[in-house]
Amino acid sequence: MRKFVVWGDNALARRLVGELINTYSAQVTVIVADLTAGQAPEIAEIRADDDPLSRPVLIEARRPSRAVFETADLTDADAIAFLDTDDVANVDAALIAREVDPSIRVVLRMFNTRLGAGIVQRLSNCSVLSASEIAAPAFVAAALGDSNPTTIRLSDGQQLMALDRASANPGNVRCGLAITAENETLPADEERADLVLTSVYGNRDADPPRPRRRHPMRLSRLLIGGGLRRILASIVGVLALGTIAVAAVRHVGVWKALYLAVLTALGGANPQEDAPVLSQAVDVVLVVVGVAVIPAITAAVVGIVVKARLAIAAGGLTERVSGHVVVVGLGNVGTRVLRELNDLGIDVVAVDRDERARGVQVGRDLGLPVIIGDVTNPDTLTAASVATARCLVVVTTADVTNLEAALIGRNLHPSLRVVLRLFEEEFAQRIKTAFDINLSRSVSYLAAPAFAASMVGSEVIDTIPVGRRVLLVAEVPVGAGSQLEGQYFRAVSEPGLVRLVAVQTGRAGLGVGVQTFWAPEQNRWRTLDRTHTMVVVATRAGLVALLERAAGIENPPPFQPPAAPPLLTPRPRR
């Protein structure tokens, strides 16, 4: 039986422990900061359906130490996962674990993927995954109506893309992924699949992002707001009436009348004792109006300028927008979603209640409007112009807050597309049905299968959400002496479980260049050997079964390729 250790008591840890116990039938030890806090009580209750003794063993420890890992029997474990939300804390704990067992496989959760890449280069048998990076594309696709395809980069730099068959080049299709209307994944009849996996040629990353629309007079529109426009209109009206009155009582032309009215109202007037009474009355009215109007103009201008400067400094919404996406919750996931939408050229308004949230500064650096406020207050979503938005994406870490924000958004915009983050699958389904929420996603649900597969030694590259199910894209090496060694390519795929997409020959460190065999069904008579790596798309159960078939053995015999298939001998002509 496999044995794993998990460090963490958050939602991802809870989902990962369930994945390891139920999918991989593993024995799991979980190290938590407090047995009564966080997700620890829920983790303690996880068990396989038919085995009450399969519950995880929980150990309480607030800080990592050699003693803690020795208590967890780390040297007898196959792998350990560090799932804290603090990158530095995960790295520190991993280094301590390596002091206890230098060969233990380590799986790190990290937000900073650049730092993660450096860690992988220096720590052998280590895998770094970002839960937010895995989950963000699913939220982006849902926000855009699932019209945004999922792009997958293989270890050799080649790229794949999951998209609708109608949008795909038939010559680039590698396999059928799902019949979405029937919720069937990896169907036996690939031609019926409307979601397909295709190759991508050229460097898509080099394409510049589409520029977001910016109104050329955005600052002037902010300064000359509705209040100031009304004041200016009133002044113009008063001066117009004054001009007409002066022209009528003094019998002068329009220009001279306007000249006298403006100077009298704004500059004061000299008393004229011999002027007609009606003319004096007009002068008095204009002077009184001018005395009242000048302070009002000054106060309005000062107030509007100060408000505009505060709005610009805070990065808030400074112009009318429509067709944009409102992203609520600027933690790890929200920050990823924010970046991806911005890279696609989508107008985004970001919202968070905490000025110190990770995505607040990221949004401001990108020049995006960022609103600091309580999302459960309708005024906050009104300030984000939800009424004119194309979609509201709510990805805070609190299910209740996400649901409340979603309902407020729907009240402000009844036809608004809403995508929200929820942990519990059954709860999410009930919410979708009861409130007609377009889609709900769970970050841990999307990420946990990748973390679990990485712990058992598979390099999960990405996940492809299909409805509320997840397909895993993985690179699986063919182990020496494994059940698959010597088998034909065609022996790998199983409908509904796993689909072989490509076979890579050669491996890093062997001095052999890597080649990729696409269209394995056309190379059905080629055989697998211990220098091959399979690129597959699989369900969780399919990947588990494939890993067992691909696992190598100790002291494997020399590889003996199978005999070539018999050639068909043509019948002699009579």
50 and 107 fall within a common domain? yes
Q: Order of strands across the sheet with 173-179? A: 150-153, 159-164, 195-200, 173-179, 184-185
More confident residue, 172 or 296: 172
Q: Classify residue 523: in a domain, yes or no.
A: no
Of 474, 457, 484, 455, nearest to 562 by C-alpha is 484
Q: How many domains does the chain have?
A: 3
CATH number for 102:
3.40.50.720
Q: Which tokens hold the place of 342?
A: 């911005």
Please give the DSSP secondary-structure letter assigned to residue 335: H
Looking at the fold, whether 387 and 358 belong to one and the same domain comes out as: yes
Residue 180 lies in a domain: no
Bridging pattern class, strands 105-109 and 79-82: parallel
Tell me if 412 is assigned to some domain.
yes
CA distances from 317 to 214, 370, 411 (A): 12, 7, 21
Q: 9 and 120: one domain?
A: yes
User: Which residues contact residue 411 at a Cβ distance below 8 angstroms, ignoring those fewer than 6 apart?
Assistant: 378
More confident residue, 349 or 298: 349
- Residue 313 pLDDT > 80: no
Smallest Cα–Cα separation from 46: which of 26, 60, 63, 62? 26
When pLDDT is averaged across residues 336-340 and rounded to a whole number, the result is: 91
Residue-wise pLDDT for 408-424, tens only, equals 999 999 889 998 888 77
Separation CA 290–CA 282 (nearest Å): 12
Q: Using CA atoms, how far apart are residues 558 and 537, in angstroms rounded to an integer?
A: 29
What is the predicted pLDDT for the residue at 322?
84
Within this chain, do residues 335 and 366 fall inside the same structural domain, yes or no?
A: yes
Output the pLDDT for position 316: 58
Q: Are residues 291 and 363 in the same domain?
A: no
Answer yes or no: is 541 within a domain. Answer: no
Tell whether 297 and 350 lie within a shared domain.
Answer: no
307 has a pLDDT exceeding 90: no
Report strand pairing: 532-538 vs 498-505.
antiparallel
Q: Report which listed range, 49-53, 202-206, 505-509, is most confident.
A: 49-53
Q: What mean pLDDT do residues 104-110 have?
A: 92
Domain co-membership, 301 together with 224: yes
Beta bridge partners of 195: 164, 178
pLDDT bin (cut points 50, 70, 90) of residue 66 is very high
- Residue 257: which domain range? 218-314
346 and 297, same domain (yes or no): no
- Residue carrying structure tokens 């169907």: 187
* CA-to-CA separations, 109 to 43, 63, 112, in angstroms, rounded: 18, 17, 9
Q: Which of 99, 129, 159 is the last residue of a domain?
A: 129
Distance (Å) of CA 470 to CA 115, 444, 447, 541: 27, 12, 9, 11
Q: What is the pTM of this model?
A: 0.70
Q: Which of 409, 441, 473 is the last residue of a domain?
A: 441
pLDDT at 218 over 50: no
Residues 121 and 47 in one domain: yes
In-domain check, residue 13: yes
Confidence check: pLDDT of 85 > 90: no
CA distance 154 to 150: 13
Q: What is the mean pLDDT of residues 491-519?
A: 76
**Does residue 533 lie within any of the structural domains?**
no
Q: Are residues 253 and 366 in the same domain?
A: no
Same domain, 382 and 415: yes
Distances (CA, A) of 265 to 234, 284, 297: 13, 9, 13
Are residues 284 and 367 both part of a single domain?
no
Tell me, what's the pLDDT at 511?
A: 44
Question: Does the residue 188 lie in any domain?
Answer: no
Taking the alpha carbons of 493, 497, 502, 508 in that order, is the dihedral positive or negative? negative
Summarize the chain as % helix, strand, coil (round to 5). Answer: 45, 20, 35
Domain end point (choices 441, 465, 492) = 441
Q: Tell me if 349 is assigned to some domain.
A: yes
